[in-house]
Homo-oligomer: A and B are copies of this chain.
């Protein structure tokens, strides 16, 4: 059973006694082709089982119709909804996605950029790894003017578009909410400040404290990788504090959930003894008891927006001067932070 030969435009041309050029044009609504000729071409193509060969096309046009995606990890609810959104838009626009994970490491991120660059993707959609310091590994991409869009974990760059939510405002809202519930000593669990999402949330936290005349105490701010384990460690630290905090604002849900579990094990009551809020609206937040107050933001839409913005640029329609796009978010209040009513 050998692989039968492919049907090419030459076969169609021969069958119809036309030139390959005409067939090529006929196959994609070129204006200089008679309607009935086009119809004959399309029909014959179908009849012969013609399948467009994108390598040949790519080679000639120097375009792959492929988008390279780099994310820290796929295995969060948020990220998978982002990808779902990208996929939807990309498919509709005739693009394929090549997705790779940096596993939160710059080194892997650098390798991924190289791989995708060598695969000649037409554009990049990137959410940065935990410890990426600068954008030098994207130089080869930017030097060739390949469009690069950051989402969620972004990095300011004159040539790149950023798609984010207002992390400052969201964090401000969360903190204000905790304060409104009577919290006076609020722990904030943050992560690498190289990442906008964490600096902005920290800023929002500080601003809210300031606006409510609560002194900022740096001993209440923890920096870690927001993992389950980190949550356990923070909880232990909290339990050892002389003056016990009465609120926790974690930069993600996984860590918040881990804190709740650990604090409950130690006999504390959430939210009575200590109120807790997270970030991301992960499905976990609805399973933990008490259900977790958190910030929801639209992964699917962020993915769709990132992909459609990139595709518009690729198709030369627009986008040269665009800089930042900000999506809406919502504070979702659940029992974990409700000390009153």
Query: Chain A: residues with CB nearer than 8 A to chain B?
Result: 1, 3-4, 6, 51-56, 58-59, 62, 64, 66, 73-77, 80-81, 83-84, 87, 91, 96-101, 103, 111, 115, 117-120, 144-145, 254, 257, 261, 283-284, 287-289
Summarize A's interface: helix, strand, loop or mixed. mixed
Top 4 closest pairs, chain A to chain B, by CB: A75-B80, A55-B59, A74-B80, A55-B58
Set of chain B residues within 8 Å of A115, measured between Cβ atoms: 91, 96
- Cα–Cα distance between A263 and B329 once the two chains are bound (Å): 32
**Cβ-defined contact, B75 with A84, below 8 A:** yes
Closest B residue, CB atoms, query A299? B75
Q: Is the CB of B84 within 8 A of A100?
A: no
Residues of B within 8 A of A59 (CB): 53, 55-56, 59
The answer on a CB contact under 8 Å between A120 and B287 is no
Which of these, B64, B74, B117, contacts A84 with CB under 8 Å? B74
Separation in Å of the A71 CB from the closest CB of chain B? 10
Q: A3-B145, A96-B98, A144-B3 are in contact. Are A120 and B80 (CB under 8 A)?
A: no
Nearest residue, chain B, Cβ from A284: B287
In the complex, chain B residues whose CB is within 8 Å of the CB of A120: 53-55
CB distance from A341 to the nearest CB of B (A): 21
Q: Which residues of B contact A288 (CB under 8 A)?
A: 287
Contact between B287 and A118 (Cβ–Cβ < 8 Å)? no
- Cα-based distance from A64 to B77 in the complex (angstroms): 31
B91 touches A52 (CB 8 A): no
CA distance A55 to B118 in the complex (A): 11
In the complex, the answer to whether A99 meets B101 with C-beta atoms within 8 Å is no
Q: Which of A80, A81, A145 has the most CB of B within 10 A?
A: A80
A100 close to B87 (CB less than 8 A): yes
Chain B residue at minimal CB-CB distance from A98 = B96
Q: Roughly how many angstroms separate A119 CA and B90 CA in the complex, as a whole number?
A: 14
A-B contact pairs, 28 of them (CB 8 A): A1-B145, A3-B145, A55-B120, A56-B59, A59-B59, A74-B80, A74-B83, A74-B84, A75-B80, A75-B84, A83-B99, A87-B99, A87-B100, A87-B101, A91-B100, A91-B111, A91-B115, A96-B98, A96-B115, A96-B119, A97-B98, A97-B99, A97-B100, A257-B287, A283-B284, A287-B287, A287-B288, A289-B289
